[in-house]
Structure 1
Amino acid sequence: MRAADKLPVLLVGASGRVGRMVTHHWPQMSGSLPMVAQFRRSTTLPDCLIWDPLTGPEPLLDAVSMTGGFSAMIMLAGVTPGPGKDLALNRTLAEACLDAASRAGIGRVLLASSSAVYGAGAGTPLAETASCDPANAYGAAKLAMEKGCASWRARGMDLCMLRIGNVAGADALLLNVAKSAPDQAIEIDIFDDGRGPVRSYIGVQTLASVLQSLCLHPDQLPEIVNIGTREPISMDALGDAARHPWLKRSPSGSTPQSITLDCSLLSTLHEFNTLDSRPEEMVRQWKETLQP
């Protein structure tokens, strides 16, 4: 264990959808590192850092002077697609956090990117070395963020870009389940083989465990790591695991049925178990975060 591992981890973006779920699961993990959650605005939660990275690093620097610093920064904050959203802020926000981390002496940063940087691919699992051809504005914005931030690694920061697949509970399918009445069926595209779209997923508790493993890794991390479990899942299986009614819908457009990640590199950095790839376990982890 590195000497810095005795210090807490700073999670930037605790108010976001994924950040809230990771924050819920983090303290429940065995031997969990202490974590400080960052919010832009005041909150009733204890032991938080109120800081808007876009206004400068001073609140972070003040926290470091009072507490002794942080072992790593997990940067989950970002702008997601939506009407009026400025996706270019993903790069601006990331660069502000990296600048603040450097000034605060935080040597390791895990920066949330997206598997959307790859685009549709050719139907085979996409490794970190695959070419990037984003199919939408969000993927293009995240790729621009990666390129804009890459120089920080050359300056000595242990910066790792996390190309995250679908996080169960923050994905479109389970969000539709959450918004629907228990007897209101959702629709799932079903292809000629009787299966839905096949994607790389990860449960949010598993994601929290992966993030901890990366924070604790004793050596320099790879520049880019795909984030998903070892086996992809089909969305019809996820719908069944959620025990929510769904209806078959014919696929439209030219999006391939299978867009998956090769997560073999991650498997060398984190020890998965067989349950992690099961849709039922991903749904369980998601539903636990919905409990009051």
Structure 2
Amino acid sequence: MQAEQRRQHDLVVTGASGRVGRLLAAGWARSGVPVLLQRRGDAALTQGLDELRWSPLEGAAPLIDRVQRHGAPRAMLVLAGATPGTGRDLSLNRPLTEACLAAALAAGIGRVLVTSSSAVYGGGRAQPWGESDPAQPTTPYGEAKAAAEAACTLWRARGLEVCCLRIGNVAGADALLLRAGGPLAIDRFADGGGPVRSYIGPGSLARVLRALACAPGPLPETLNIAAPVPVAMTDLASAAGLDWRWQPAPPSAVARFTLDCRALAALVPFDDAESTAATIAAQWKDCRTPT
């Protein structure tokens, strides 16, 4: 217990039981990163990481008590939220985000990383989306994440440093690799190629999030999160060993949806290999945990 009391955490992570959270926790546990995971129930999440039983929507008392006894983490990472396909009400994203921001402020945690989504930009286009492009979501999920981002403005005025992370595709939490158990059809466009997306492997994402938590200077209000070079989904499917085939792209299919990640790369350097399909697929396999 004495050793635990002296340990300073880089991050307290809300929503750690979700798909992305489990992938990240596997990477942090393996590399020994000091992270505190929030959980709601009695069951432990990840061996090797500290955990806090706490529900942000029920108030900040458990977090405040923990901070008073053990010290404040460098930052809070807000993974808590509702995602498509889970059956949860997407409108929960804003109140969950606000509850976490309120708890961070009350507990004296000055920096908060709020996970948003590239879905706030809307549809695909030939050129990458940059942080200065206006949010113009076209899906309910994108709208919900844009609303959560908008809620952060008030909390910045109250003294919190809040950086909204517009994350691209996370390998292992995306539609492509989640269908690894059966045949996969990939859209083929008129130019003969398939979809191109901005991806990041879970190992790279875990490293990036820790680096942002510990960054010495103030972070921007929004930041695109992906590996610097987009990847063809066919290359990723092949690198992951998936059984896939072509199908004609329907009119609604999006050929290219990518992010301009130069601002992130200026803060957190990337190795060239982290943008390759082989490394992204390998990180997914390394971080897979039972669901």
The 2-side partners of 1:159 and 1:290 are apart by 29
The 1-side partners of 2:65 and 2:159 are apart by 23
Q: 2:152 aligns with which of 123, 136, 149?
A: 149
Mapped contact 2:167–2:226 kept (Cα < 8 A): yes
1:25 partnered with 2:23: no
Q: 2:111 aligns with which of 101, 108, 112?
A: 108
Deviations 1:118-147 (A, max 9, x none): 011432100000122112100000001100
Deviations 1:4-24 (A, max 9, x none): x95442111111110011111
1:89 partnered with 2:92: yes
1:42 partnered with 2:42: yes
Greater alpha carbon shift after TM alignment, 188-197 vs 124-133: 188-197
- 1:104, CA displacement in angstroms? 0.1
- 1:290, CA displacement in angstroms? 2.6
Instruction: Give the equivalent residue in structure 2 for 1:262.
Output: 260
Instruction: Give the equivalent residue in structure 1 for 2:164.
Output: 161
1:225 match: secondary structure: strand
1:267 match: secondary structure: helix
Instruction: Give the equivalent residue in structure 2 for 1:133.
Output: 136
Instruction: Give the equivalent residue in structure 1 for 2:280.
Output: 282
The 1-side partners of 2:158 and 2:167 are apart by 24
- Specify the code of the residue in structure 1 equivalent to 2:195: P
Mapped contact 1:123–1:256 kept (Cα < 8 A): no
Mapped contact 2:118–2:167 kept (Cα < 8 A): yes
The 1-side partners of 2:263 and 2:50 are apart by 34
- 1:40, CA displacement in angstroms? 1.2
- Specify the code of the residue in structure 2 equivalent to 1:193: D
| Sequence identity percentage | 47
- 1:83, CA displacement in angstroms? 6.6
Instruction: Give the equivalent residue in structure 1 for 2:226.
Output: 228
Instruction: Give the equivalent residue in structure 2 for 1:71.
Output: 74
The 2-side partners of 1:194 and 1:242 are apart by 21
1:268 match: secondary structure: helix
* Gapped regions of structure 1 (runs ≥ 5): none
1:213 partnered with 2:216: no
The 2-side partners of 1:84 and 1:276 are apart by 33
Instruction: Give the equivalent residue in structure 2 for 1:172.
Output: 175
Q: What TM-score, normalized to structure 2?
A: 0.92
- Specify the code of the residue in structure 2 equivalent to 1:95: E
Mapped contact 2:73–2:109 kept (Cα < 8 A): yes
Q: 1:185 aligns with which of 158, 183, 189?
A: 183
CA RMSD of aligned residues (A): 1.7
Greater alpha carbon shift after TM alignment, 254-263 vs 157-166: 254-263
Instruction: Give the equivalent residue in structure 1 for 2:18.
Output: 16
The 2-side partners of 1:59 and 1:137 are apart by 32
- Specify the code of the residue in structure 1 equivalent to 2:217: D
1:80 partnered with 2:78: no
- 1:255, CA displacement in angstroms? 3.9
- 1:254, CA displacement in angstroms? 3.1
Change (3 A) 1:117 1:64: same
- Specify the code of the residue in structure 1 equivalent to 2:78: M
